[in-house]
């Protein structure tokens, strides 16, 4: 089973992935910005004790329960109940991730 560790949190700073930035703006435009929170950061992925050399960016908006993860150039999205379960779904259950997309 793959696991993860958040190694950097962006807070309100822009994320590195342009796909995640574009979706953040789309969500922002569709919601009341005053009540909108977005959690963004970088995760390190582990398979057992071995860490992958690449990191992944994430963007989670709890108000709409939407999580985007960018590993490489493109981002993928799913509707998830919380950040932790969403990242674990992306890592370990690609079928469930696709259904929640």
Please name the residues in contact with 18: beta carbons below 8 A apart, sequence gap of 6 or more.
none
Which pLDDT value is given to residue 64? 86
- Show the beta-strand stretches assigned E in the chain: 2-9, 39-47, 50-61, 66-70, 75-79
Residue pair 22/63 in contact (Cβ under 8 Å)? The answer is no
How far apart CA 28 and CA 96 sit, in angstroms, is 26
Residue pLDDT tens, the chain, 101 long: 999 998 877 765 556 777 777 777 777 667 665 667 778 889 999 999 999 998 999 989 888 899 999 987 788 999 999 999 999 999 999 999 999 98
Residue pair 51/44 in contact (Cβ under 8 Å)? The answer is yes
Which pLDDT value is given to residue 33? 59
- DSSP readout, 42-71? EEEEEETTEEEEEEEEEEEETTTTEEEEES
Helices (H) and strands (E) in the chain, counts: 3, 5
């Amino acid at each position: 089973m793959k696991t993860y560790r958040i190694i950097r949190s962006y807070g309100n700073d822009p994320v590195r992935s342009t796909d995640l930035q574009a979706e953040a703006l789309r969500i922002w435009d569709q919601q009341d910005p005053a009540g909108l929170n977005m959690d963004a950061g970088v995760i390190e992925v582990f398979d057992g004790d071995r860490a992958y050399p690449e990191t992944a960016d994430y963007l989670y908006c709890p108000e709409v329960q939407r999580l985007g993860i960018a590993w490489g150039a493109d981002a993928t999205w799913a509707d998830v109940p919380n950040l932790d379960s969403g990242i674990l779904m992306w890592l370990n259950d690609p079928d469930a991730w696709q259904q929640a997309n």
